[in-house]
Structures are given as C-alpha cells and as structure tokens.
Amino acid sequence: MTHHALYRKPYLPDSYFPIIIRRVRYTVQGPICDSHWHEQIEILYFVEADAVVECNFNDIKVKSRDIIYINSNELHRIYNPGGKALEYYCIAFDPSLIQSSFFDSINSKYIVPIENNQILFKNRISDDPTVSRYISEMIWEAETNEEGYEIAVKAYVYLLLVCLLRSHKKAVLSKKESRIRSNNLDCLNKVIVYIEEHYNERLTVNQLARYAGMSTSNLHLLFKKASGKTITDYINQVRIQNADRLLRNSDMNISEIATAVGVDDSNYFTKLFKKYKKIAPSQIRKAEGTGA
C-alpha cells in the first residue's frame, strides 16, 4: 500500500527485538483508535470487553477472552460503544521478529507468505484454549522480564503461528492474488481518506470513482466486496459518527450539526441517525443535558 494518510506504525522501541506487549484500559465511549493500517502483525487479547473491532470494514463484536488477529496491512480500528470498562492487551510485532537470519524453508514456506499477505488468518479467534494459553504465557514473560524472557516470547510467537496455521487460516493467496488485494486495499484506502476528510461536503460515487481512477461500477463492486456495505452507506456512517461526537461534545443545535456533517435536511438527518444509532439525536442531546 502506498497511500499513507491512514498509515500508523506501532512504536517498537527495540529494533533488535521488534515486539511490544502493552495493557490498555479504557472507559470512555467512542473510538479508541481511528482506522489505520501498518505492516506489523497485531493481536488483541480482550480481558474485559464490550467492544467493536472493525477489520476491513467488518464490525466484530468482541467479548471477554476474545482474541483478534489483525493481518499485516489490514485496515482496522477499535471502538467502545457503551463507555463500559474495557481492558485488553495489544501485542504488535514486526515480521522480522520471526524471520531467520538466513533464508530457509520455514521462511519461504510460512514467514514470507504471512508477511506478504499470501497467508491470511481469521480475525476473530474464540474458545481456543491453546491460543489463549500461548498469549497468556507471552504476556506473563513480557511483564515479569525474567532472564531470557525474549527467547520465551519469541518461542510463544512461533507456537501461536503453528496454531493459527493449523486451525485459523482464512485464505491462501497466490502472488498475483496478493498483489491485486494490495492494490485494491490501496484504492479503498484512498477513497476512505477522501470520504473522512470531505464528509461534510456533497459526495457522489462518480466523484469518488474519478478520484480513485476507476469506473463507478468497479468502485461499487470493490467497496461492496471488501466491506459488505455500499459507498453511500459508508458515507452516511461516517457522517453519523461525527454527528454523534458533536451532539455529545458541542453546543451546536441539531440543525447546525446536520449541516456540519453534510446533511442539509434536518428531518432526513434524524432518520439517518435513528437508522444507524437506534436512537434519536434529541435523546442523546437530552441525555447529555444540553439543548436541542
């Protein structure tokens, strides 16, 4: 992928041991991190959760003890819909952690295809005690920092990959398929960035297709295949998400908020809001204790 507006590289302080394991606690309603992607592999282990993780536009509702695997270059974000206590471990590592210093059959058969998105794993892993145990051991080693913990962490990463290869593969792509997937993701990334930067303006599919350098029919198909949503649906979701933020954190009235997010008709805005949030904007404003 070449478009960098959504690119966010995890902070890996030790280039010779490129992995970070950190605990995250969050109690505020809303996004924990916005949509982004990176080459690094990321694993989320939810200790206490009522959250949503979006991977390539697909919303995954997670509960306690769920594990989310985020493939390299996969667009994702984390959202706390209810503002309840949320606790999870984030494990992010660069593929160089598991590469050999010399090119062997393990590298060519497994590591390189994982790094190049030829082997893709399922995003959600539930009720797999072996995977959970390896992740728990990895966390324990990182937190205790006993002598040799780096060796143990790396060993558990390898064991984890074995479990994923045997039980949680989503797809195995050819080099050509992987290249097409990467190009498609790059195109989608470009369109998404444009939508998120211009949601308050009038947007049309024709306009977005021209910006992406493709036909409207191809953009429709690509977007629908990747996300399960239409482009219009995604635009509306972005608008309503921003409207929700303004309802909770600004003094603007509902009509002003509707205009601010690109919806000129306040009645239509209310319909859209109720469709996506299952609640009227006036009810949110009332709950926040501010006027309409």
Domains (range + CATH), the chain? 19-172 (2.60.120.10), 199-284 (1.10.10.60)
Higher pLDDT, 261 or 50: 261
pLDDT over 80 (residue 74): yes
pLDDT over 80 (residue 59): yes
Average pLDDT, the chain: 88
Higher pLDDT, 49 or 160: 160
Position 3 scores a pLDDT of: 38
pLDDT over 80 (residue 104): no
Position 93 scores a pLDDT of: 94
The type of residue at 290 is: T
With cut-offs at 50, 70 and 90, classify the pLDDT of residue 14: confident
Tokens of 144: 């205790």
Nearest partner of 281 among 129, 175, 260, 223, judged by Cα:
260
pLDDT over 70 (residue 222): yes
pLDDT over 90 (residue 225): no
- Tell me the C-alpha distance between 169 and 150, whole Å: 27
Position 207 scores a pLDDT of: 93
With cut-offs at 50, 70 and 90, classify the pLDDT of residue 281: very high
Position 192 scores a pLDDT of: 85
pLDDT over 50 (residue 145): yes
The type of residue at 274 is: K
pLDDT over 50 (residue 2): no
Q: What is the mean pLDDT of residues 90-108?
A: 84
Burial label for 217, CB within 10 Å (0-12, 13-18, 19+), is exposed
With cut-offs at 50, 70 and 90, classify the pLDDT of residue 291: low
Higher pLDDT, 192 or 235: 235
Percent of the chain scoring above 70 in pLDDT? 94
CB 272 within 8 Å of CB 281:
no
CB 205 within 8 Å of CB 216:
yes
* Buried-exposed string 104-143: b where 16+ CB fall within 10 A, e elsewhere: eeebeebbebbbbbbbbbbbebeeeeebbebbebbbebbe
Higher pLDDT, 216 or 188: 216
Higher pLDDT, 161 or 3: 161
pLDDT over 90 (residue 1): no
